Amino acid sequence: MVKKLYEYRLALQHGGARQGLIVEWDGNFGEIAPLPNFSSETLDEAKKEALLWLRNNTPPTLPSVRFGIACAKRPLRSLRLPLASLGMKAGFSTVKLKIGHLSAREAISYVKEHLGKAHLRLDCNRKWSLEESLFFADHFQRDDFAYLEEPVEPSSLVAFSQITHFPIALDESIHRDWATIPSLKAIVVKPTIIGSLPQVPSRYDLVLSSSYESGLGLLHIASLAEMGIPVGLDTYSALKEDLLIEPIRCSQGYFSWNATHPPIDTSKLSQC
């Protein structure tokens, strides 16, 4: 059985770099890429644990390491999935609009420009007060959006839900008291952050989202999605370069990739 661990560093479009690890298991590859300021572990901590697994077969406990090793046990296949676009783009039926950086009044005008053009998911990123969120909600109907993601700070979620009954999506890594949110519709899951897929009650939609992984990590997340469920993987556009030999294509509302073996260019990696 061949097991190896590599390091990578990929340039980003707007400066800086994304760093992570690639684990190889008998010709299959998985990605270990804790996200700075969001993951519970650092890259150094993940590397130490991955090396313990590599040398001693010590079971991993850190989320990004568990996810990366689990992915390395599965061969990748060609994929074609509906994609949720970040921003309005031709061909996309599901569009995510980030509005938390706007005032509620600015967001009202911005969102109204896009009503009816696509199935909208709105990401407020917990930036608004309850008062601001209620002001925004007063200008729309509940069925105008698929959901509002993190519309207010956590302490005001229950009140916002009870007052507006607008569909809400929550990040699983931040919120656990799902039953207290009466209009909760979707649970947003970032596998790199939590390590695996949680048990989500059938009354909620499961939404898979990326954490700025390389193309390899995005492919593994996409492979977890059931056909017909849009996946939030538009962070791929943040990469200036990638490890994949065959690039991912995001066009006309679809995320597609043609499998190659191996899937990545190992000459871009440094073995640990």
Residues near 106 by Cβ (< 8 Å), separated by ≥ 6?
A: none
Instruction: Please answer whether residues 174 and 156 qualify as being in contact, where contact means their C-beta atoms are separated by less than 8 angstroms.
Output: no
- What 3-state DSSP class applies to 82? strand
Is 190 noted as a catalytic residue in this protein?
yes
Tell me the CA distances in angstroms from 202 to 85, 114, 125, 198, 207, one per residue in order. Answer: 25, 30, 25, 12, 12
The span from the CA of 162 to the CA of 36, in Å, is 34
Structure tokens at 244: 């994949």
CA–CA gap between residue 152 and residue 213 (Å, rounded): 27
Query: Tokens 């649970």, residue?
Result: 187
Looking at the DSSP assignment, which residues form a beta bridge with residue 148? 122, 168
The CA distance from 251 to 253, in Å, is: 5
Tokens at residue 151, please? 């519309």
* Candidates 4, 98, 240, 268; catalytic one: 98
Q: Which of 207, 263, 235 is nearest to 79 (CA)?
A: 263
DSSP category for residue 14: T
Alpha-carbon gap, residue 78 to 270, rounded angstroms = 26
Options 47, 96, 127, 190, the catalytic residue: 190
Residues annotated as catalytic (active site), given as ranges: 98, 190
